[in-house]
Structure 1
Amino acid sequence: MSANTSSNPLNALANQPKALRVVLLIVLCFTQFLDAFNNSSFFAAIPPIASQLHIDNSDSVWLISAYQLTFAAFLLSSGRLSDVYNPTYVFVSGMLLMSFCSLGAGFVRTEIPLMVLRAFMGLGAALNIPSAMALVISMFPDPVPQSRALAAFAAGAAIGNVFGLIIGASLVTFASWPWILYLAAILSAVIATLVLVLLPSSRVQYRSAVNQYSQFQRLDIPGIGILTVALVLFVFAVTSGSISGWPSPRTLIPLVASGLLIVVFALWERYLPEELASVPLSIWRHPNFPILTAIGLQPFMWWASVQLLFSWYYQEVFQWSTINVAIRFLPLGLMSFPVMGIASILQQKLPFTQVILIGDVLVLVGTSLFPFADSKEQFWRFAFPGFFIGTTGMTIVFATTNIAIFAVTPPNVAGVVGAIFMCALQLGSAAGAAIITAIQTSVEKNHGGPTSFEGRAAGFWFLFAFNAVLTTSALILLRRMPLQSEKLHTSSKEPYS
């Protein structure tokens, strides 16, 4: 273990009373809830915001995308900070940044400042998630309690995703859209305060200037900078693709530049000594890590696509109210409670590989029903069971992959591993939404316009095909992983500092 890891005062978290660790875990789970809430609640807020602030429909997507852009782009920077320095400080800084920016966004009434503050909220979220994961892993170092803690942490996102729709719709209907931001500001401040109060205090050790410089070197500022710019350009490109069209210069130029910067980043990381690289290339040599990261593209992409394709159709074609639409989506969140327990039981009885494949098969079954849910009468016949079956499968995939990716990697890079996984989740959501929107609009041009269902059906078939490809890849590439209760040999190794 590196000197930094062995002297880390957060190692004492595992020795704290169980009651304290459980309370801290609940508080940290609200972090996932809040980060998902900040996205899903704005689906209900976009129409009144666009109307009040005179934002074009094509530009209103940036109320969501501005948050996703900085969230995805800065995750790896945050993960590296959490591994090099105390993740508590990273976490609290992110929460306070989110709180202040949410409060400010609630008061602004012009387009650009609102989007800028939403982008800074995404930066706060990027600081929160990897550091929260590092804290969870520090509190529960043993395999079985750690997997259960990570499963609970993952459940926070699924629950926040759907309850964000309901809370956002309620606030827009009975109060006003700024109250979504005020609520986020209040919750962020409360979570930051609770973590500061509940985490055991530790004496700050003196570090010489040499040690401080060594730590600073380990941040890999050039590498992280290159990768962050590459991710910003990628998310901007895929978001612009659904607005301006994929052949447009606004899409192609940043997309090509992003690809070139990724190549430069890989060359830079290969050039650096292993202990100084922000994303050591050897991390990709851990068994199953690359395919588990690819599987991480699925969950948020699936949930976001289902909500995106159905929500507008239900409101504009079926004429259902915002709250009624949010209630129809309840299975996407409520199923997370029992399914997390089912996933935990499966993980104890079967290897992770088999559990992931079971979940993926259920996802394919559920997704295959959606293209036929084109009328109110077909909601209960196709959409409703699709929500239940698909969400059951995707929750199993999400919960199991979230645990497995930490099981196959050493604990001293938990921040970077958590950041890579969350980055995959966010990139899947952003890219998936852009691609599906492009497919939908292109089909609608020649098949009935936006009020027809043909474009949405095509989007759902793409979603089915994408998940089928990843399921097949998992079947072929995933090597056997032990049961949840078995200690993986790779978890005890620490090849990088």
Structure 2
Amino acid sequence: MLPLLTLSVVDDGKRLALTRKLVLLVMFCLAQFLDAFSISALFSAIPSLELSMNMTASQSTWMFSASQLTFASFLLISGRISDVYNPKTVFIGGVSGLGVTSLCAGFVDDKIPIIILRALAGIASSMTVPSALTLLVKVFPDPLEQARAIGLFGGCGAVANIGGLLIGAMLVEWVSFHWVFWFVACMALPVALACVYIIPSQLAVTVDTFEPGEAKWKSLDVVGVSILTVAVILFIFSVTSGSIDGWASPSVIIPLIISTLMVVGFFYWETFIPVDKAAIPPRTWFYNNFSVLFTISLLPIFWWNAVLIIFTTLWQNIFHWSVILSAVHMLPIAFFAFVASFTGSLSRIFSPKWIILTGLSLSMAGTILLAVGGGRPENYWPYVFPGFALGSVGAMLTYTHTNIAIFQAVPSSMAGTVGAIFNGALSFGSAIGLAAISSIETSVEVTHGGSHEYAGRAAAFWFLFGIVALEAISVSIFYDRSTDHKPQPQHRSSLSDTTLTSANVMTMTTVNQ
């Protein structure tokens, strides 16, 4: 039986007016859009930033790496805080932080301060995603509505990846690179202010609401979260440095070894603390399909970013297209991804296994077209455009229905933690994958005509095809359909082990009103 508090929160989600639900969904989607936009728009601004701030190519890389590193590293602690404390406060704090850091970045003309601000922006973004998913699950407790909402939430991120490139190009071309940052601030700060009043206070109630502060603090698993956070920072740093300093350099090998040892230490630590106090309880990996869904989630962002980076550099550096022209040719990726994000309700009709396999199959077909025919401008319509369409639809189907399935695989009380794990996997997959294709592309170009030839990029796409095929095989073999369309599992929390007194229920009812 569900704890009384959980039942109350579910009922509150059902009692919200449809208009308010939709407004909340728009707010969450805007936050997702801004998180992705703040990164993708920088692709257009980097040349101007390098010139204005006298940056080297390796230094400008840290404009992306700094935010990627802090975003991935702080996801877990943000997710735990959202589950244990107040997701409304975490969400508003994250959006506000993104707005303030972006506002400040627009006034900076020195490379060190702006890289620091980008790192702080990554922390702010890491606060918005798990908390938004926690609130979204509460606003839409019905599985069908929840699936549609999660699909749209993910679709906004995909649109922002290409929309950011195009809007960033227009801002850089017609105004200045400063407005790439101010654009984010002009949207983020009003959204944060609106959410103070729009997000109902009862949605901030968690299963630990009536626990004392000391008990909540212990529920965060500060030791475990700290170990994993440092491990992630070192791992992302080593992977990022590999493409800059070389994979055999001490700056790559030493952090990678330490990171691996710390991850082992983290999982060892988690076995010695109470299950309801663990950052990632060991049982999480044994929920039905959770492990295979985690593996699948390594792929989608990797696919989009690989295509974006390979074709952006090809078109601008080799074909000498303008930034805006390149962005316009990328629009099919955003369009078809956004259309595919509306397929969330299909997961209530068909098994997520078949939808995910369909998505992976489409991604394989699109990747083959890009590997075979992407080397010349005249091949855009016969090869690249359909490759973008098929691959982007496939990646979004994979992303959306993996996202939906992974939330259905675990208790709703773990929504923030699961959101952090899922989005962390997206970032890890992208970081590792991009480092791999960068090395493959570079090594092939050494013996096949240099960067002006397409051989290195084709080899990168064939590697990407192999990864997608491996994911498809994993889903075919390991995905268990026995729990499809069944209610989310429940587990006893510290609160549910005791009986709520009538005074607590009365207090909770008063808060809800």
2:95 aligned with 1:95? yes
1:128 to 1:10, Cα distance in 2 relative to 1, 3 A: farther
**Kindly, what percent of the aligned residue pairs are identical?**
39
Residue 450 (structure 2) pairs with residue 453 (structure 1): no
- The alpha-carbon distance between structure 1 residues 9 and 262, as it changes in their structure 2 partners (threshold 3 A), is same
The residue aligned with 2:191 is 191
1:494 aligns with 2:491: yes
Contact 2:37-2:164 at 8 Å conserved across structures = yes
Q: Which runs of structure 2 are paired with 1:21-420 in the superposition (5 Å)?
A: 21-201=21-201, 211-341=212-342, 343-344=343-344, 346-372=346-372, 373-420=374-421
**Are the counterparts in 2 of residues 220 and 278 from structure 1 also a CA contact under 8 Å?**
yes
For residues 407 and 102 of structure 2, the distance between their equivalents in structure 1, rounded to whole angstroms, comes to 32
Aligned partners of 1:46 and 1:410: how far apart in 2? 42
Measure how far apart 1:446 and its partner are.
2.3
Q: How does 1:419-438 map to 2 (within 5 A)?
A: 419-438=420-439
Structure 1 letter corresponding to 2:353: T
Q: TM-score, normalised by structure 2?
A: 0.92
Aligned residue number for residue 445 of structure 2: 444
Report if aligned partners of 1:11, 1:138 keep a CA contact under 8 Å in 2: no
Q: Would you say the 8 A contact 2:10–2:141 is kept in 1?
A: no
Rounded Cα–Cα distance in structure 2 between residues aligned with 1:239 and 1:232: 11
CA distance in structure 2 between the aligned counterparts of 1:456 and 1:287, rounded to whole angstroms: 38
Per the TM alignment, residue 143 of structure 1 is displaced from its structure 2 partner at its CA by 0.9
Provide Cα deviations, 1:69-116, integer angstroms capped at 9, x if missing partner. Answer: 111111111000000011000101111111111111111111111111
Rounded to whole Å, the distance in 1 between the matches of 2:28 and 2:303 is 24
Q: Give 3-state SS (helix, strand or coil) of 1:136's partner.
A: helix
Checking the alignment, whether the CA contact within 8 Å between 1:230 and 1:257 is kept in structure 2 is yes
Quick check: 1:65–1:430 contact (8 Å CA) kept in 2?
A: no
1:440, distance to aligned residue in structure 2 (A): 1.2
| Rounded Cα–Cα distance in structure 1 between residues aligned with 2:187 and 2:67 | 17
TM-score, with length taken from structure 1: 0.95
TM superposition shift of 1:31: 1.2
The Cα RMSD (Å) is 2.1
Task: Give 1:204 deviation, angstroms.
Answer: 9.9
Q: Which residue of 2 aligns with 1:476?
A: 477
Q: State how far apart, in whole Å, the 2-side matches of 1:348 and 1:11 are.
A: 21
User: Is the 1:40–1:161 Cα contact (8 Å) retained in structure 2?
Assistant: yes
Measured after TM superposition, the shift of residue 310 of structure 1 is 0.8
CA distance in 1, matches of 2:5, 2:308: 42
Distance 2:213 2:442 in 1: 53
> Given the superposition, is the C-alpha separation of residues 130 and 203 from structure 1 closer, same or farther in structure 2, using an over 3 Å criterion?
closer
Asked whether the 8 Å contact 2:409–2:489 carries over to 1, the reply is: no
1:57 Cα deviation from its structure 2 partner: 1.0
CA distance in 2, matches of 1:161, 1:215: 37
Q: Which runs of 5+ in 2 are unaligned?
A: 495-513
After TM superposition, give the deviation of residue 2 of structure 1 in Å: 8.9
1:309 Cα deviation after fit: 0.8
2:501 corresponds to = none
Evaluate the alpha carbon distance shift between residue 477 and residue 201 of structure 1 in structure 2; reply closer, same or farther with a 3 A threshold: closer
1:14 aligns with 2:14: yes
2:355–2:401 Cα contact (<8 Å) kept: yes
- Change in CA separation of 1:338 and 1:138 when aligned onto 2, cut-off 3 Å: same
SS state of the match for residue 181, structure 2?
Answer: helix
Q: Distance in 2 between matches of 1:94 and 1:312?
A: 32
- Which 5+ residue runs of structure 1 have no aligned equivalent? none
> CA offsets, 1:224-244, max 9 Å, x none?
001000001111111111111
- C-alpha distance in structure 2 between counterparts of 1:94 and 1:14, whole Å: 26
Give, in whole Å, the separation in 2 of the partners of 1:161 and 1:255: 29
